Amino acid sequence: MSARILNGNAIRDQIKAELAAEIAQLRKGGILPGLSVILVGNNPASELYTRNKVKTCNELGMSSERIELPDTITTAELLAHLDRLNLQEDIDGILVQLPLPPQVDAKRVLLALDPQKDVDGLHPINVGNLVQGRLGLVPCTPAGILEILRRSDIPIEGQRAVVIGRSDIVGKPAALLLMHGNATVTICHSKTRNLPEVCREADILVAALGKPGMVTGEFVKPGATVIDVGTSHLTRREDVLRYFPNNPKKLQDFDAKGATLIGDVDPVSVTPVAGALTPVPGGVGPLTIAMLMVNTVRAARLRRGARAIVGASS
């Protein structure tokens, strides 16, 4: 047996096609969804992420802007920018790219966001809506995990699900979404005893712990669906050979760039055991930006009374 590979790129493209049609309908009704992305400093990874977010907005026919601020900014100065965006009617979504410089109080910044424009779904009001199963804005990566499962015809209701990782961004909201889908959910973390044994009970195993290749075949029940959320860089050639033997593409990638991506899952030992597996890259990652776009459209509909229009964000 070899796991079915769940193609996140194909699912992203489905969602984008649905969103493009919905945005065209909104525009006919005089509503142009708008996203504002705030980038503080010159972090190369953050620059790439924000550029891709703005590019995707443009591809879908939404308005977008990237506000670039110096890494010397104070908390008060950043809050002043947020106050302006909160009041700006043509902005439906605001995203503050993390991490922020150490002198900025990130918690105060996230609390200052208008919850109706919090397209990352991290404001306490949106977290509370998620806990209670109310309509609102949901963190993008967990929402993407649910889309992968649903669009891959993998049942959630009645299944045993195990989430490794309890972060506010992925682990906790993913567990809540699975629970709302009527799965029986266990959350594991660094203090969990007999971790492989607990994970082997899962029909759906979500690995979101940020440790490269930690989840091996020993963690996986035969036939289970494994969702790999992690992304780490291998920077030693011997590690690439260990995790990706007989994979010349990975070796070529490493030789060209000096690093290559791996998730939290060891693909060599898990692929023969699992029933389905998301790859890294090309699995969960593409869904994160897609669901950010979904949240921006949803925010536009909720803020501007356009609930009657249905589509990918319903």
Active site residue 168: no
**3-state DSSP of the chain:** CCCEECCHHHHHHHHHHHHHHHHHHHHHCCCCCEEEEEEECCCHHHHHHHHHHHHHHHHHCCEEEEEEECCCCCHHHHHHHHHHHHHCCCCCEEEECCCCCCCCCHHHHHHHCCHHHECCCCCHHHHHHHHHCCCCCCCHHHHHHHHHHHHCCCCCCCCEEEEECCCCCCHHHHHHHHHHCCCEEEEECCCCCCHHHHHCCCCEEEECCCCCCCECHHHCCCCCEEEECCCEEECCHHHHHHHCCCCHHHHHHHHHHCCEEECCECHHHHCCCCCEECCCCCCCHHHHHHHHHHHHHHHHHHHCCCCCCCCCCC
Residue from 92, 114, 118, 120 carrying the catalytic annotation: 120
Q: Are 65 and 54 in contact (CB under 8 A)?
A: yes
Q: Which of 53, 117, 172, 221 is catalytic?
A: 53
| Residue 193 structure tokens | 């005893």
Residue 252 falls in the annotated catalytic set: no
User: Could you tell me the two tokens for 224?
Assistant: 């289970």
Cβ atoms 176, 131 nearer than 8 A: yes
- Which is catalytic among the residues 97, 117, 118, 266? 97
**Which residues lie closer than 8 Å to 151 by C-beta, 6 or more apart?**
11, 14
The verdict on whether 250 is a catalytic residue reads: no
Residues marked as catalytic:
53, 97, 120
